[in-house]
Structure 1
Amino acid sequence: MARFGNAASLYFVDLHELTEIIHDPQQAAKLKAILQIAAEIGKPTTIEHPAIKNCVDLVHYLQATMGDGRVESFRVLFLDAHNRIIADELLWRGTVSEVQVYPREVMRRALELDCSAFIAAHNHPSHAVLPSQADIEMTRRLLTAADTLGIAFHDHFIVSSRSYHSMRFHRSIDPWG
């Protein structure tokens, strides 16, 4: 805990790194299993379909669920016509500096869920939340795909445990400008 700060950060440590710290592969595997079980127990058994009420609550949620990630990950909140969450899905995990996103797969999942809108988010383990050119281009591709299918793309957030960047609020993308 002293090295990683909190249990949420420890959850994202891979088994190889745990083994280097604990020096016992079996004990490291047991700890990883306990962390995974604890994460499952902490998940709600039913989804209440809460409405997204404001940006602050959404950002806090995203920071809590992915801000401490040690590799970049990409999640999508699929919403109904009243902005209630239909599904919150972590679609991809990448490396410490990038995550590959496939707009076709995001749209396929949106259509499967019959959603009206979605919010995308990914984390930056470096804590530097300004979008890269690749982040901007990927957001443009998602906007084009969503627009073509008549699905509202509300925003794309880049988060860390310390900060966030809203592509829409900061007008990082022309169509949102």
Structure 2
Amino acid sequence: MAASNDDLRRVLGDRPASDFLSLVREVIAHVLREEVMSAPVLSTGQALLDYLRATMAHAAEEQVRALFLDAGNRLLKDEIVTTGSARETVLPPRVVLRRALELNASALIIAHNHPSGDPRPSSMDRRATRALAEGARALDIVLHDHIIVARSGTTSFRALGLL
């Protein structure tokens, strides 16, 4: 399900089958996103993790995604903030916080993937999250969590006591 459209066509050969699998992937992501949007994000914890795993766990490159929330913790916007290489990406606090202010977000959840399959946070992940949390606090924006998504599972900074 994580294969690109070009990879699907190369393996499956005929266009209808590859187009069908691409459509199935989009429908799954849409259904999971709708489940996350139907209630406050913090009350849909497993739905959020399912959505993030479906959309990020098998990506070939690291990406940072920001989920911007309103005062009731409902999803305002879900955006990929930046992408990087297979081994790293940058979590840009200025970009994330500027966008949060533009959207009038009261809170946010950051997620990024580890294509290596290991969901443990690196020292760079920890430093970037601390910088983002400090900036968010100064702007009266709550950083609820930073979730690392990998094929083998997820890691929550909040659950680790890192926020």
Q: TM-score range by the shorter chain?
A: 0.7 to 0.9
Gaps of 5+ in 2: none
Contact between 2:118 and 2:152, CA under 8 Å: does it hold in 1? no
Q: Does 1:10 align with 2:40?
A: no
Between the aligned partners of 1:39 and 1:135, the Cα distance in structure 2 is 33
1:96 aligned counterpart, secondary structure: coil
**What is the one-letter code of the residue matched to 2:40?**
A
Q: Does 1:92 align with 2:82?
A: yes
Gaps of 5+ in 1: 1-6
1:69-80 → structure 2 map (5 Å cutoff): 69-80=59-70
Between the aligned partners of 1:67 and 1:128, the Cα distance in structure 2 is 10
Between the aligned partners of 1:91 and 1:49, the Cα distance in structure 2 is 23
- Call closer, same or farther: CA 1:87–1:40 in 2, change over 3 Å: farther
- Call closer, same or farther: CA 1:170–1:148 in 2, change over 3 Å: same
CA RMSD across the alignment: 3.0
Between the aligned partners of 1:54 and 1:22, the Cα distance in structure 2 is 37
Q: Deviations over 1:103-128 (max 9, x none)?
A: 00000000000010000000001111
Which of 43, 46, 50 matches 1:56?
46
1:146-161 → structure 2 map (5 Å cutoff): 146-161=136-151
Query: Number of residue pairs matched?
Result: 155
**What is the one-letter code of the residue matched to 1:67?**
A
**What is the one-letter code of the residue matched to 2:47?**
D
Q: Which portions of structure 1, spanning 4 or more consecutive aligned residues, are displaced by more than 4 angstroms?
A: none
Between the aligned partners of 1:109 and 1:72, the Cα distance in structure 2 is 20
State the identity %. 35
1:120 aligned counterpart, secondary structure: strand
Between the aligned partners of 2:117 and 2:75, the Cα distance in structure 1 is 27
Question: What TM-score comes out, normalization by structure 2 length?
Answer: 0.81
